[in-house]
Amino acid sequence: MTSLFPMFLKLEGKQCLVVGAGKVGESKIGGLLETGARVRVVSLDASPAVREWARAGKIELELRAFSAEDMDGAFLAVVATNSRTLNERVYREAQRRAVLCNVVDVPDLCDFFYPAIVRRGDLQIAVSTAGQSPSLAQKIRQQLEKQFGPGYASWVSELGETRKLILASDLDKERKLELLHSLASREAVEAALAEMPELAAKGEGA
């Protein structure tokens, strides 16, 4: 089994192609839109939500059959059709052009997989089984959602602000590193602010 390389990808401004615009394609398009990607959709038909996104100018939608030229300029492609022949054709074209491609629910036609994700503000926890068992990934996600409650969103935001205060302080380099490495502890954050009352005041007024 090939080992996967886990990473979080910045897609803002990147051209992403989606082939297929039914319910499954709709969810993939919605996820890409959240990242700020430029989304182009090619499909013979489209769900009402996808059509509405097109009317609102959020995506580029072309209601027609896929052609090889649709892959021009694409950074990655997502294929969500129920045609194995079309899925394989789009995947082969992506491979030929070195475009990352995911054919939904067909692991052998995927360069990357969609993980099950827990989102708490800027905190994201992703779980993948490399397409072997999406159900297991979802089950683990549900367990993680209980372990990492909604409060983590504000906590992570607080950590980010405290990190900025530490980096901007006059503390020596070693102390800064010590505090940064222990930021995940609320007690450590309070201790850091106690050493920098003037910066803490700035943080409170932000």
How many other C-beta atoms lie within 10 A of the C-beta of residue 81? 20
Domain shared by 59 and 75, yes or no: yes
Question: At residue 79, does pLDDT exceed 90?
Answer: yes
Question: At residue 201, does pLDDT exceed 70?
Answer: no
Question: At residue 51, does pLDDT exceed 80?
Answer: yes
Q: Kind of pairing, strands 123-127 and 116-120?
A: antiparallel
Domain shared by 66 and 107, yes or no: yes
Report the alpha-carbon distance of residue 178 to residue 163 in Å, rounded.
12
N residues, the chain: 206
Domain shared by 19 and 105, yes or no: yes
- The most confident of 91-105, 167-181, 187-201, by mean pLDDT: 91-105
98 phi-psi bin (left φ>0, alpha ψ -120 to 50, beta other): left
Report the alpha-carbon distance of residue 198 to residue 203 in Å, rounded.
9
Look at residue 81 and give its three-state secondary structure. coil
Q: What pLDDT shows up at residue 19?
A: 98
Domain shared by 25 and 74, yes or no: yes
Of all residues in the chain, the percent with pLDDT exceeding 70 is: 88
Domain shared by 85 and 128, yes or no: no
Report the predicted TM-score, pTM, of the whole model to 2 decimal places: 0.76
What is the extent of the structural domain holding 64? 15-112
CB 43 within 8 A of CB 25: yes
Report the alpha-carbon distance of residue 206 to residue 202 in Å, rounded.
6
In the chain, how many domains are there? Answer: 3
Chain mean pLDDT for the chain: 88
Domain shared by 135 and 196, yes or no: no
pLDDT digit string, tens, across residues 100-138: 999 999 999 999 998 888 988 888 899 988 888 889 999
Is residue 5, in this structure, part of any structural domain at all?
no
Question: At residue 173, does pLDDT exceed 70?
Answer: yes
Q: What pLDDT shows up at residue 151?
A: 80
Q: What pLDDT shows up at residue 192?
A: 52
